[in-house]
Structure 1
Amino acid sequence: MNKAPHLLLMPPNWIGDVVMAQPAMAAIANHYRNQLGSEHITVCGRSWLSDLLPYLNIPGAQYEATIPAADTAYVFPNSFRSAWQCKKAGVKEIIGYQGQWRKLLLDRALPHRISLKHEHHRLSYLDIAGQMKFTTADTEVCLSTPDGDKEAGRTLMQQHGLNPERVICLAPGAQFGGAKCYPAEQYAEIAYGLVESGWQLLILGMKEDKQVGDLILQDLRGPHWNAAGTTSLAQALQLISACKMMLCNDSGLMHIAAGLAIPTVTPFGATDPSRTAPSGPAVKIIYQPAECSPCLKRECTVAGHPCMTNITSQMLLDACLSMLK
């Protein structure tokens, strides 16, 4: 009897891209588990994957910090380095998109059939599974909350004076850069409107987002919590799973909330929603492009940041309240 292959998945390098790649990774893992009997499925990459992996709906997959000498690796990053790391680790078969001078390192160098300039990134990841003839029945992102995590999130909220039945998460940052960020002053107006409607605000983000979080919350009455920079990713995931809605920029947390079926409202401007909009059953995108949209730049170079200021705080407040009905 042939030994079932050890499968290695190397996801993309950004949280949002990992979530967009979830349907593809699940399809590959399901094929190896159900058709080939694989019980050894390893996910390897950045350290925060150990927190995110339990949410990715890939049963049996385990995180490892070091690349193992697996039988087959699917390499989602397009870099030469990622393929070379697998080769150096002794992976027997390496599969991924061709490019970046790595064709000779790949045992299956797949052509790019989906244009990232015109089509959604999720479809590009799915085409890796498609070119391997694997079934991709679930083409939308479908994340799941591990047992106990939602209750842990509710407990964290209560410890900071919040009523979990009334909590809205607001994530005002974006790791890619300021061009994606909606103005803090207008977020503050939305926050005020939400509080006046009986909701409570919880700010999530990196430590760099704490100052803008303080600005958003400074005039609010009642319970609120600026958790930016004070939680681990694992705790942030628990809080998102327990909240009633997510209001955020185009970011990794946006993709997570939408994939968990949390109602999600997002202003888009510098990025193109047709390429990176979140996948989920309760998503509202507000997009009022300027002449320069989508610029795809890290920082806005146009006076007034028009792609964001074209979106009024009332537009976003109305979208939030309609999602909360």
Structure 2
Amino acid sequence: MKILIVGPSWVGDMVMAQTLFQCLQQRHPGCAIDVLAPEWSRPILERMPEVRQALSFPLGHGVLELATRRKIGKSLAGQYDQAILLPNSLKSALVPFFAGIPKRTGWKGELRYGLLNDIRILDKERYPLMIERFMALAFEPGAELPQPYPRPALQIDAQSRDAALAKFGLSLDRPVLALCPGAEFGEAKRWPSEHYAKVAEIKIRAGWQVWLFGSKNDHPVGEDIRSRLIPGLREEAVNLAGETSLAEAIDLLSCATAVVSNDSGLMHVAAALNRPLVAVYGSTSPGFTPPLAEQVEVVRLGLECSPCFDRTCRFGHYNCLGQLKPRPVIEALDRLVGDPVEVE
């Protein structure tokens, strides 16, 4: 059984997609799973043992370029028994159609009749979680999903991890608090810098070191957090946001004693690395995309106006995050790692 997955466009969604791959391997032991996805996702897919190979998709999000999609599809002709589409867009259905893959599975989306021949109708009440919507595509319509649900589990190569530590001059002589203060989705998912800084200060005074993670866009936020620490403490916080590749960020996150993160792709990466994790939610809901791990504490206020799922606050106050003070996060950290554990 050879299966082509058309992957999602977000880091967190790609991590959660591993639950689908696990279900496919359970249903078709030894099946070959290839994932067609943006090149940035390769470091994630390479750390999933269920995936045979990552196929780089050269077009950006929202770009049609019909001729390029036809060319890619023709290059894949005759190689797969089934295609499973995780995006719901019409564009995502074109490559499997042009490839002539016999069975093309996906949820009913924008005008995909004819492009898909195994169209599913989504029951959002039956499948409230994103992973349930992914996993259901591994089975026949109406089938019960396996219990307990699988969890994403990224595998780290020790040599690659050690190389990242050496490259950035990092050591594991003290407990590591990883902070992930960014969120590509928008401001309504970002816990304020001053709150992150207070958490960092408390843990540094307790003998920890702090590593800040994120994309290039998050580097200024990391610097803002560091600037709020007094000299002597500031030096114990390293801003890695925008400095690491995604592969290096994953490997370094695996070293964390604990992680505090917004609802973001790195939150899902930390969960898939089974790191003790405090997840801070504002405009979004853990009822749809919760971090999937054993050692997780979700902290949120649950105001009347949230979750709104807006990128920016329609009222302009961001109270769901601004009024969420550091104390609940510190208390959650203490419950998870009151006595810091050694990193394996």
Note whether the superposition's TM-score is higher than 0.5. Answer: yes
Q: Evaluate the alpha carbon distance shift between residue 165 and residue 196 of structure 1 in structure 2; reply closer, same or farther with a 3 A threshold.
A: closer
Q: CA RMSD in A?
A: 2.2
Contact 2:175 2:209 (C-alpha < 8 Å) held by counterparts: yes
Contact 2:85 2:105 (C-alpha < 8 Å) held by counterparts: yes
How many aligned residue pairs are there? Answer: 313
The residue type paired with residue 86 of structure 2 is F
Q: 2:245 aligns with which of 219, 232, 237?
A: 232
Shift of 1:131: 3.0
Aligned match of 1:180: 189
* Cα deviation 1:187-211 (Å, max 9, x = unaligned): 1111111111111111110111111
Answering whether residue 23 of structure 2 is matched by residue 31 of structure 1, we say no
Answering whether residue 287 of structure 2 is matched by residue 278 of structure 1, we say no
In the aligned structure 2, how far is the partner of 1:14 from the partner of 1:115? 24
Shift of 1:9: 1.5
Aligned match of 1:51: 43
Task: Give percent identity, aligned residues only.
Answer: 30
Q: Evaluate the alpha carbon distance shift between residue 317 and residue 156 of structure 1 in structure 2; reply closer, same or farther with a 3 A threshold.
A: farther
In the aligned structure 2, how far is the partner of 1:322 from the partner of 1:200? 19
Query: Mapping of 1:130-141 within 5 angstroms?
Result: 130-131=139-140, 136=146, 139-141=149-151
Q: Evaluate the alpha carbon distance shift between residue 293 and residue 268 of structure 1 in structure 2; reply closer, same or farther with a 3 A threshold.
A: same
Shift of 1:279: 0.6
Q: 2:34 aligns with which of 38, 42, 62?
A: 42
Q: 1:309 aligns with which of 319, 322, 332?
A: 322
In the aligned structure 2, how far is the partner of 1:169 from the partner of 1:80? 38
* Cα deviation 1:42-87 (Å, max 9, x = unaligned): 11111122110122341x5111125523221111111111111211
Shift of 1:141: 1.6
In the aligned structure 1, how far is the partner of 2:261 from the partner of 2:163? 22
Aligned match of 1:201: 210
Q: 1:71 aligns with which of 81, 90, 95?
A: 81
SS at match of 2:20: helix
* Cα deviation 1:76-113 (Å, max 9, x = unaligned): 11111111121123323211112211022112111212
Aligned match of 2:176: 167
In the aligned structure 1, how far is the partner of 2:253 from the partner of 2:118? 38
The residue type paired with residue 176 of structure 1 is F
Contact 2:174 2:207 (C-alpha < 8 Å) held by counterparts: no
Answering whether residue 12 of structure 2 is matched by residue 21 of structure 1, we say no
Contact 1:184 1:216 (C-alpha < 8 Å) held by counterparts: yes
SS at match of 2:114: helix
Contact 1:172 1:249 (C-alpha < 8 Å) held by counterparts: yes
Q: Evaluate the alpha carbon distance shift between residue 26 and residue 164 of structure 1 in structure 2; reply closer, same or farther with a 3 A threshold.
A: farther
Contact 2:161 2:248 (C-alpha < 8 Å) held by counterparts: no
Aligned match of 2:276: 263
- Alignment gaps of 5+ in structure 2: 58-71, 339-344
User: After TM superposition, where is structure 1 displaced by more than 4 Å over at least 4 residues in a row?
Assistant: 132-135
Shift of 1:135: 7.2
TM-score, structure 1 as length reference: 0.89
In the aligned structure 1, how far is the partner of 2:146 from the partner of 2:116? 23
* Cα deviation 1:252-288 (Å, max 9, x = unaligned): 1001111211011011110011111111011100011
In the aligned structure 1, how far is the partner of 2:138 from the partner of 2:327? 42
TM-score, structure 2 as length reference: 0.84
Aligned match of 1:127: 136
In the aligned structure 2, how far is the partner of 1:308 from the partner of 1:80? 36
* Cα deviation 1:291-315 (Å, max 9, x = unaligned): 2101100111324311112311111
Contact 2:34 2:55 (C-alpha < 8 Å) held by counterparts: yes
Bigger drift between 146-155 and 91-100 goes to 146-155
